[in-house]
A = this chain, B = another copy of it.
């Protein structure tokens, strides 16, 4: 059932929610958007049981579509997912993530130099990248001086 409740009430850009999401996709993206740290597929499932989701596959399928479209990202190094930081003009190039192990905060950034160097390496070696992962795990400025 595509096209349930469209919401254009976001002052200025009308594809914040991409507006053609499936109900399950909306639920999952909503949960990710409201979370303050990455959520695993099973975290999502637990949060969404009240909304009718019952099986892991429902979540994984939604996540697959969302990540394909760049509305969500998978953090490979922690087996979890986040909403894209700027969903209404989602990035295309390689993205890097800094994941705070203290508070769960995730910063998403793109660096043209890094991307360029990796492209260069690929060009030289003939390697053709399909998907690139750059993830820093550590502590954000706020958490760096906290116990453990």
Contact = CB atoms under 8 A, between A and B. Distances in A.
A134 interface: yes
Contacts of A98: 121-122, 125, 127, 129
Assign chain A's interface to a size class: 20 to 34
Copies in the complex: 2
Interface in A106-138: 107, 109, 111, 113-114, 117-118, 121-122, 125-138
Given A76-B76, A76-B77, A117-B113, A129 B137 contact: yes
A101 interface: yes
Given A76-B76, A133-B76, A128 B122 contact: no
Contacts of A117: 111, 113-114, 117
23 contacts: A76-B77, A76-B135, A77-B133, A98-B121, A98-B127, A101-B130, A109-B121, A111-B118, A111-B121, A113-B114, A114-B118, A118-B136, A126-B144, A127-B138, A127-B141, A128-B139, A129-B138, A131-B138, A132-B135, A132-B136, A133-B133, A133-B134, A133-B135
Interface of A: 76-77, 96, 98, 100-101, 107, 109, 111, 113-114, 117-118, 121-122, 125-141, 144
Given A77-B77, A118-B136, 5 more contacts: A98-B129, A114-B114, A126-B141, A128-B144, A133-B135
